[in-house]
Amino acid sequence: WALRWYALDVDYEMAGEDLQTAADVAGKITKLLGGEKPAGFHYKLFLDENNQKISKSKGNGLTIEQWLTYAPNESLAYYLFGRPTSGKKLYFDVIPKAVDEYLQFAEKLPQQHNEPDKMLDNPAWYIHDGDHTRVPEVPVSFALLLNLASAANAHDKATMWGFIRRYAPKASPEGAPFLDQLVGFAVRYYNDFVLPSKTYRLPDERERKALADLSARLEKLPGDADTEALQTEVFSAGKENGYPKEELRNWFQAIYEVLIGQTQGPRFGTFIALYGKNETIQLIKDGLDGKFVKAEAA
């Protein structure tokens, strides 16, 4: 390093934090030779889910190709953009979160193009080279698509689009190519990561009572009830069946564990609107009957 810096008059060098000591020593040698240590930037390491340094020898890393198998380029650009001076966890579970955080910033960009301060703080501005007109419109989150794939046991995009068209009638694979990409990624991610780890359970008595009440409430709602009305009934079914405000998180966790086989998910009202009111009522019935647990055991 020192010889290259001195001979080529290098004024900037970046490297991982594990090379900080080597860079300091090289800087001292460069000064002894009569040169100047270049300005430097030491980025943090990538870590696995156990906060261990990822490495090829351990095989605990995640390649660019693997990331792009399950998510679009923009999500990877967003992940790399943020917090360069902090260590980052890099494993498959971070992909859905990165996709949805990118979408949240991208959604704000068109409204910020006349507000330079906000625009320059938005990662999507850099990802899209400052062009707010290139931002895709996506009516559903990636997390919601994953939960839809899970509930519908979707193994292809056609199944997913059947639900999406009902939720967003103007959307189509041809008219929303970015959304169509996300649908494909969601199906692939679900089949490779979610499906093998799904674990259903039976509801306890309090959960059974609340789920039955939620089903009854949905029955009474009109077919065109919006997501807020649906979400209100989800909250009410929990609060009026033994879940005080401080325990509502447990109620939502129970919903996903009993009906989806996962511990968490997006707003359940939005999920109902996407999956369908009648389909959700049947999903609750199957969960109460233990259908998913029996199928898992078989």
CB 82 within 8 A of CB 97: no
pLDDT above 80 (res 52):
yes
**Banded pLDDT at 58 (limits 50, 70, 90):** confident
% of residues, the chain, pLDDT over 90: 74
Give the predicted TM-score (pTM) of the model: 0.83
Q: What mean pLDDT is predicted for residues 25-45?
A: 93
- The confidence band for 146, taking pLDDT boundaries of 50, 70 and 90, is very high
The backbone torsions φ and ψ at residue 18, rounded to the nearest 5 degrees and listed phi first, read -70, -10
User: Greater confidence, 277 or 59?
Assistant: 277
Q: Are 149 and 193 in contact (CB under 8 A)?
A: no
Q: Burial level of 199, CB count in 10 A (0-12/13-18/19+)?
A: exposed
Q: What is the pLDDT of residues 215-247, one digit of tens each?
A: 999 999 998 899 999 999 999 999 999 999 999
Q: Is 203 exposed, middle or buried (0-12, 13-18, 19+ CB in 10 A)?
A: buried
Q: Tokens 């259908």 appear where?
A: 291
Secondary structure element (H or E) that encloses residue 16, with its range? strand 12-16
CA distance 81 to 96: 16
Of 124, 141, 143, nearest to 133 by C-alpha is 124
Distance of alpha carbon 5 from the chain centroid: 42
- pLDDT of amino acid 37: 94
pLDDT of residue 204: 96
- Angle 264-232-195 from CA coordinates, rounded to 5°: 25
State pLDDT tens for residues 151-200.
Answer: 998 999 999 999 999 899 999 999 999 999 999 999 999 999 999 989 99
| Residues in contact with 257: Cβ distance below 8 Å, sequence separation at least 6, in sequence order | 199, 200, 201, 263
